[in-house]
Amino acid sequence: MLPLNTVLKRLQVPHDAEELPPTALISRDVKPIEPERRTWNGAAMFSLWGLLAFNMANWQLGSSLLSVGLNWWQCFLATLIGHLLAAAMVVIASFPGLHYHISFPVSMRIAWGLFGSIFVVLNRILLSIVWFGVQSWLGGTMTYVCLRAMWPSIDNVPATFPASTGMTLPQFIGFIVFYVIQLPILLLNPKQLRFLVMGSTIIGFIVQLVLLIWACATMKGFGSVLKDESPTTGSLGWSFMYGITVTISSITAGILSVCDFSRFARTPAAGQWPQFLGFLPAWLGNVFGIITVAATQQRFGAQLWSVTGLLVAIQDADQTHGTRAAVWFCGAAFLVSQLALNAAGNSFSGGCDMAALLPRWINIRRGQYLTAILGLAINPWYLLSGASVFLSVMSGYSIFIQPSLGIIVGHYFVLQRQRIRVSDLYHVGDNSIYWYTFGCNWRAFVAWLVGVTSHLPGFLATLNKSITVSAASKNLYTLTSMTSFTFAFATILILSYAFPVRRQREFADSHTRQQARQLCEEFITSSAILRLESAMSLPEPIEEYSEVQKVKE
């Protein structure tokens, strides 16, 4: 039997001969991105949000909002406002990556501290796992559509799962096939991913547009979906606000992940307006879904909010070879979008988080596969078994995630005025201005609790209808994507001004933004040399970097 030390050494992240081995604090995947790896241009950054727009979940979002009582034009307006607000959040959240080239888990150290950030990172790892499983299930249902188009007899497979699981055996077969297909795609690096993202965005747009044109050209009239009167039985205003909240919540995972990609942008400008304009394809995806449902309602006698259900209904209505071929190509296009979405949007984010927690043992690729494995354990087929469950799941994420966004935005833009001492994000001890109290910023934890607990009663009542809460609690939860962000933002500012971190204020006062970013670039170019001095941590003062590098040379 091999000694434990030998086993642990062999399990460490491999590295090239010219690279230094990963340490407990930093690795190639965790350090700020050097200029030669910044390859994402404006088109790639725009396509990233196009990928999040032209996929199954976003198509279903617009149509499933009809189930909460909004009519068609109210859905259009609610989703437009939601995507505009989400796009603004995306751009704001991407700044640490655009200007300092750091990933999401490293950027969280700014406000939470080196050890405190672990709490947020673990939270987002859970989010990545959940969304990986959900998108895998959606991709699996589309794989089932493709298999069914080729072999209609697949539906004759005996049922072995109870109805309560929300799936059938043929659908589960499709899920397994999709899951296996996507595993090799996780091997793509960020430079290769940008081509997959751009290609998938184009394919996703084309298939949704073609489906919309076909539905309108062959419809038997628009159904009740496009009637002006609202069928809601409750308050129209709160239903409308709920639509905005759900729209924002649907891409909360993307907002959190943005630094993981924006750090690869060639220039900061490549990640600003291109990303903000991503609201347009995201909104168009919702519009395509709503109009397609409206144009097919009369034909199929139901509002088919699931694109999988729609394609199945199309094949059932016409079993000719031409229709089956069309269904297969349509399903295959959605399948490609799902593969790209899971590789770029979910597994990559999970991999970045895990690599930041244990850089010596986990790199992004290993983290991606761990995310994929854990994504099997969440029963994603149940999460998407109905429109109400689907909406509850998406909107529920914001209660735990949006406060973290409010905290980092408050720290980055207000407290530290976009002046970050990047080297100190990789330090352990009092020499780091982000060390706080034993590596944790208690102010951030309090702000997070304020953002979460204020919305918790409404969240619990949404998940369990037997729980009775006040109307005010329900209404507050309806606004959770905006209010949880705002509450945490305000709280972190109040606490930080009342209990300031003196050294952070001194650094912000003594450096311009340009100087802080220049120090970051110096750190990026010199950190590899300086790591030869220590296998565990980086040197302390950033001001010494240029001088030490001169000595080395």
* pLDDT: which is higher, 42 or 552: 42
Q: First vs last Cα of the chain: how many Å apart?
A: 45
Structure tokens of 233?
Answer: 């039985």
| 3-state SS assignment for residue 437 | strand
* pLDDT value for 389: 56
* pLDDT value for 221: 63
The answer, yes or no, to whether residue 171 has pLDDT greater than 90, is no
**Confidence band, pLDDT 50/70/90 cuts, at residue 228:** low
* pLDDT value for 102: 95
User: Are 409 and 489 spatial neighbours (Cβ–Cβ below 8 Å)?
Assistant: yes
Q: How much is the average pLDDT of 101-114?
A: 95
* pLDDT: which is higher, 59 or 267: 267
Element containing residue 372 per DSSP (H, E): helix 364-374
The ranges assigned to domains in the chain are: 28-393
For the ranges 142-151, 201-210, 472-481, 491-500, which has the lowest average pLDDT?
472-481
CA atoms within 13 A on the CB side of 360: 9
Q: How much is the average pLDDT of 195-206?
A: 91
| 3-state SS assignment for residue 361 | coil
* pLDDT value for 375: 86
The answer, yes or no, to whether residue 90 has pLDDT greater than 90, is yes
Q: How much is the average pLDDT of 493-508?
A: 95
Residue type, 226: L
Q: For residue 301, is it left (φ>0), alpha (ψ between -120 and 50) or beta?
A: left
Structure tokens of 421?
Answer: 């001492």
Name the DSSP letter for residue 173: H
Rounded CA-CA distance 411/393 in Å is 29
* pLDDT value for 516: 95
Q: Which residues of 511-542 are buried (b: 16+ CB within 10 A; e: fewer)?
A: beeeebbebbebbbebbeebbeeeeebbbeeb
| 3-state SS assignment for residue 100 | helix
Q: Kindly report the average pLDDT of the chain as a whole number.
A: 84
Q: For residue 31, is it left (φ>0), alpha (ψ between -120 and 50) or beta?
A: beta
Q: How much is the average pLDDT of 406-418?
A: 95
- If one counts every other C-beta atom within 10 angstroms of the C-beta of residue 11, the result is 11
For the ranges 104-108, 310-314, 378-382, 535-539, which has the lowest average pLDDT?
535-539
Give the residue carrying structure tokens 């991999």: 351
Which tens digits make up the pLDDT trace of 350-404? 999 999 998 888 999 999 999 999 888 777 776 665 545 555 655 566 788 889 9
* pLDDT value for 130: 82
* pLDDT value for 547: 39
Residues 6+ apart with CB under 8 A from 428: 25, 114, 435, 439, 537
Which tens digits make up the pLDDT trace of 441-473? 999 999 999 999 998 898 888 777 778 888 888
* pLDDT: which is higher, 257 or 233: 257
User: Are 363 and 190 spatial neighbours (Cβ–Cβ below 8 Å)?
Assistant: no
User: Are 311 and 330 spatial neighbours (Cβ–Cβ below 8 Å)?
Assistant: yes
Give the residue carrying structure tokens 């700020």: 32
Structure tokens of 364?
Answer: 């992004």
* pLDDT value for 1: 61
**Contacts by 213-222, CB closer than 8 A, 24 or more apart:** 215/291, 215/292, 215/295, 215/296, 216/291, 216/295, 218/299, 219/295, 219/296, 219/298, 219/299, 220/298, 220/299, 221/298, 222/294, 222/295, 222/297, 222/298
* pLDDT value for 150: 93
* pLDDT: which is higher, 376 or 329: 329
**Confidence band, pLDDT 50/70/90 cuts, at residue 71:** confident
Rounded CA-CA distance 13/21 in Å is 8
Fold exhibited by the domain 28-393: Hydantoin permease (1.10.4160)
Structure tokens of 157?
Answer: 């497979």
The answer, yes or no, to whether residue 540 has pLDDT greater than 50, is no
The answer, yes or no, to whether residue 497 has pLDDT greater than 90, is yes
* pLDDT value for 549: 40
* pLDDT value for 238: 82
Name the DSSP letter for residue 362: -
CA 321, distance to chain mean position in Å, is 39
Q: What are phi and psi of 69, to 5 degrees?
A: 105, 5
Which tens digits make up the pLDDT trace of 36-49? 999 999 999 998 88
Q: Sign of torsion, CA 361 363 366 369? A: positive
User: Are 234 and 471 spatial neighbours (Cβ–Cβ below 8 Å)?
Assistant: no
- If one counts every other C-beta atom within 10 angstroms of the C-beta of residue 454, the result is 19
